[in-house]
A and B are shown apart, each in its own frame.
Chain A
Amino acid sequence: MPTVTSLDVSAIRKEFPILAQQMHGKPLVYLDNAATSQKPKCVIEALTRFYLMDNANIHRGVHELSERATQSYEAARGKVQRFLNAAKEQEIIFVRGATEGINLVAQTYGRTHVGAGDEVVISALEHHSNIVPWQMLCEEKSAVLRVIPINDRGEVEFDQFEKLLNRRTKLVAVSHVSNALGTINPVRKIINTAHGWNVPVLIDGAQAVSHMRVDVRNLDCDFYVFSGHKVFGPTGIGVLYGKEKLLEGMPPWQGGGDMIRSVTFEKTIYNDLPYKFEAGTPNIAGVIGLGAAIDYLDHIGMDAISAYEDDLLEYGTRALENISGLRLIGTAREKAGVLSFVIDGVHPHDAGTILDLEGIAVRTGHHCAQPVMDRFGVSSTTRASLAFYNTREDIDALVAGIQKVKEVFTV
């Protein structure tokens, strides 16, 4: 079992040059990691090196540069495969981000398997990206979107989930970790139960992969999506994992180059996995940057990261609980990375501005999860979200910043 001290955070922070700056004359305290994470030098250097030395299109050139670019691109696919413990490289599809991965599944698997009167199940914790694609599908197909309710702690009500499943259920799509509250969903239990009805499960891992080890074979999920930029990689690159058998049975999504084997005006033969789902020139540099981010995480160790962050979250929870007039929104027993809260008498937007002037970057608003806000009777919250480069000093700065907010508003 790795110990908390196994993470040398001051050394780690040196790998993230952006953190060493002043904001409004105060040291930057970056607590908006659920929106996007910062990038270590090795990721920035991988992008630079690619464009300086290796840039070429992939899968087509006979020349050396193209060969090199193709090798780096495909090597990154292997890194993602190992990162998720997927069975095969061809189960890893590169997309723009988690949002595109979900839309891909909705538009291919969804459109071929969901019909009139069928049901898709999501949870009340979802980000809009795991709500709207299913609403669009259900509207098109006259299907029904069913929602697993959550309790006052922000945990899904598992017994209600069991009751929602029936022979019309065609797909379950839930987040691994809630972006607005930080709740870790019991995804393994959800998957097992859904499989009992032969219903496949998509897991939105956008908020999970940076905090914990993910093993898609152990989870036995059918689809898993995440975004590179939330896991210390570049923006504009993400991953859809799908079980080979399901992916093979799905029609392609976008048509274009690279996704075909042969084209005539009469008929096109589609390419094999994973290329069937990667039409057009992909974000080659983004993929290579994501590969570098995964190498970096491997080097630090996901288990050490989880242990360190659990401790930091607990420290932060205790510190915020002690502030009078502050209410934590989302108090699930299993949480990762998120401290969402409201302060009596202060609108989160005002709190966010004052914290910013103290050098503290947080997110305020509905976090693209308006139904979650409605559930807790608030229009928005202030959200501090953690990464493994954050420290107890960052939490202390947040607490001091909140005291400043209360001072300004005399609450």
Chain B
Amino acid sequence: MINDLYHETILDHSKRPRNFQLLEDANRRAEGYNPLCGDKCKVFLKEHDGVIDKVTFQGAGCAISTASASLMTEALKGKTIGEAETLLAKFHDLLTTDQPLPKDLGKLMVFSGVREFPARVKCATLAWHTLRAALRGAGEAVSSE
């Protein structure tokens, strides 16, 4: 069960998060906070003509939240805003419903184990809540509560 949650890919991304930096020329950004554990996450987007050119993040959190943010930035690159919204909805369903697992989430499927750990769902969704705030232009800090 430990390996279902702490998949090799999650451990890798938590230790060496990708796109973990400030994006100076971001034109969308948002900040997220999980009051339960104090995890923080900032998401930066550079979007041009409805397409996400660059996406980065910064923050401090547990392995699940760091890996989720890292894999999110990889998944979003080159996506349209509409595709990003769809991905966000699917990822949320992956974690919070008991429906059969979706098949088209690629690497993000490593988070399918999280649904068995209700206390950890908020860790995995923090970066995504923050992404939604960035996409929808809400500049203020969001909470994963």
**Which A positions have Cβ atoms within 8 angstroms of B?**
24, 345-350, 353-354, 357, 364-366, 370, 373, 379-380, 404, 408-410
Contact = CB atoms under 8 A, between A and B. Distances in A.
Given A24-B1, A347-B63, A353 B120 contact: yes
Contacts of A365: 36-38
Categorize the interface residue count of chain B.
Answer: 10 to 19
A379 B1 contact: no
A348 B5 CA distance: 15
A408 B11 contact: yes
Given A364-B37, A365-B36, A409 B2 contact: no
A353 to B, nearest CB: 6
B14 to A, nearest CB: 8
Interface of B: 1-2, 5-6, 11, 15, 36-39, 60-64, 117, 119-120, 123
Contacts of B15: 345
A347 B36 CA distance: 14
A313 B64 CA distance: 32
Nearest to A345: B15
Contact of B1 (A357, A366, A410): A357
A391 to B, nearest CB: 25
A349 B123 contact: yes
Contacts of A366: 37-38
B37 A349 contact: yes
Given A354-B2, A365-B38, A379 B60 contact: yes
B120 to A, nearest CB: 6
B120 A347 contact: no
- Closest 9 CB pairs between A and B? A347-B62, A349-B62, A379-B38, A350-B63, A350-B62, A349-B37, A357-B2, A408-B6, A365-B37
A346 B15 CA distance: 10
B47 to A, nearest CB: 31
Nearest to B120: A353
7 contacts: A347-B61, A347-B62, A349-B120, A365-B36, A365-B37, A408-B2, A409-B6
Nearest to A411: B15
Contacts of A379: 37-39, 60
B37 A353 contact: no
A373 B38 CA distance: 11
Nearest to B61: A347
B5 to A, nearest CB: 7
A370 B61 CA distance: 16
Contact of B11 (A348, A357, A409): A409
Contact of A350 (B1, B36, B60, B64): B64
A316 to B, nearest CB: 24
A353 B119 contact: yes
Nearest to B34: A349
Contacts of A346: 63
A357 to B, nearest CB: 5
Contacts of A350: 6, 62-64
Contacts of A373: 38
A380 B63 CA distance: 14
A366 B33 CA distance: 14
Contact of B38 (A24, A353, A380): A380
A122 to B, nearest CB: 22
Nearest to B37: A349
Contacts of A370: 38
A366 B38 CA distance: 8
Contacts of B61: 347
A115 B6 CA distance: 55
A327 B11 CA distance: 22
A409 to B, nearest CB: 7
B124 to A, nearest CB: 11
A380 B120 CA distance: 16
Contacts of A364: 37
A380 B37 contact: yes
B116 to A, nearest CB: 10
Contacts of B62: 347-350
A380 to B, nearest CB: 6
Given A353-B120, A354-B2, A409 B63 contact: yes
Nearest to A349: B62
Contact of A353 (B11, B36, B117): B117
Contacts of A408: 2, 6, 11
A119 B61 CA distance: 37
Nearest to B1: A357
Given A349-B62, A349-B123, 7 more contacts: A353-B117, A353-B119, A364-B37, A365-B36, A379-B60, A408-B2, A410-B11
